[in-house]
Amino acid sequence: MKFGSTILINGVTGTLGYAAVAIALGLGATKILGLGRNQGRMQEIESLSPVKGRILMRSTSSDDGMSLGDWVNSHTGDVGVSQIFDCLGVGGDANSTEILVRDCLMAGGTAVFAAGGAEGKVGQEYFDILNHDKRVFGSNWFSNEDIDELIALIGAGVIDMSFLEHKEFRLAEINDALQFVGDRPGGSVNVVIKPQAWSELCLQRKSRH
């Protein structure tokens, strides 16, 4: 992502979408367009930027009569976005992603797919790829260098992750944690498995004897 980019985040109200917004803000995106399902979370996401209008949300169930392409173009001067970050949740429909790449990504733009649970196919006409130089990448995981850089940026205050609400589980409660994640809390909830401290384990062992 380059400073001054206009980015569209699909699936913005999930945990991955929240993180994508925070990273985009930290790296200097001037406009962030988000597509999601949860209206309450959309208002929360818009509040992540102190600059009004820097983050704009649209519900995937919107009945305003505008196509996704028209909505994006109305906020980008008919140019489209320079980047699309797709982070649909489990069961997400990849057909919407195809529309975004086809109708909303500017010539020379880049789309990154990170939605492991999305289903469907995304294709482009040969001439569209040739003529518009659109690039599509998959992001299945991160390298050690990536996570070290992210940690450094968070530590320096460049990327603000203070919106996260940490839900902690002890190691013995891992089944409860998996159940909690399976219920798809999404949004700003970050699930953490926290192994017991050695001193706590020692106290438990002493109490058994």
Using the 8-state DSSP alphabet, how is residue 47 labeled? T
Residues with Cβ within 8 Å of 99's Cβ and at least 6 positions away in sequence, in order, are 68, 69
pLDDT at 184 (0 to 100): 73
Q: What token pair was written down for 33?
A: 């367009």
Choose the most confident range, by mean pLDDT, from 19-28, 123-132, 178-187: 19-28
pLDDT of 33 over the 90 cut: yes
How far apart (Å, rounded) are the C-alpha atoms in residues 162 and 119? 32
Is 76 a member of any domain?
Answer: yes
Mean pLDDT rounded to a whole number for the chain: 84
pLDDT of 65 over the 90 cut: no
- Is residue 100 domain-shared with residue 181, that is, in the same domain? no
Q: What angle do CA 115, 121, 123 make, to 5 degrees?
A: 110
Q: How do strand 81-86 and strand 135-138 relate by DSSP bridges?
A: unpaired
Q: What angle do CA 82, 188, 37 make, to 5 degrees?
A: 65
- Is residue 25 domain-shared with residue 102, that is, in the same domain? yes
pLDDT at 37 (0 to 100): 82
pTM of the prediction? 0.81
Residue of 13, 39, 192, 2 lying closest to 92 (CA atoms): 13
Using the 8-state DSSP alphabet, how is residue 14 labeled? S
Is 1 a member of any domain?
Answer: no
pLDDT at 50 (0 to 100): 84
Count up the domains in the chain and report the number.
2
Is 54 a member of any domain?
Answer: yes
What is the domain range of residue 177? 165-208
Partners of 56 in beta bridges: 33
- Is residue 64 domain-shared with residue 135, that is, in the same domain? yes
- Is residue 24 domain-shared with residue 111, that is, in the same domain? yes
Where is 84: in which H helix or E strand?
strand 81-86
pLDDT at 162 (0 to 100): 87
At residue 28, φ and ψ (nearest 5 deg) are: 95, 20
Is 104 a member of any domain?
Answer: yes
pLDDT at 109 (0 to 100): 92
Mean pLDDT, residues 172-180 = 89
pLDDT at 172 (0 to 100): 85
Is 160 a member of any domain?
Answer: no
Q: What token pair was written down for 173?
A: 């409660």
The pLDDT tens digits for 82-93 are 999 998 877 677
Residues 183, 15: contact at Cβ < 8 Å? no
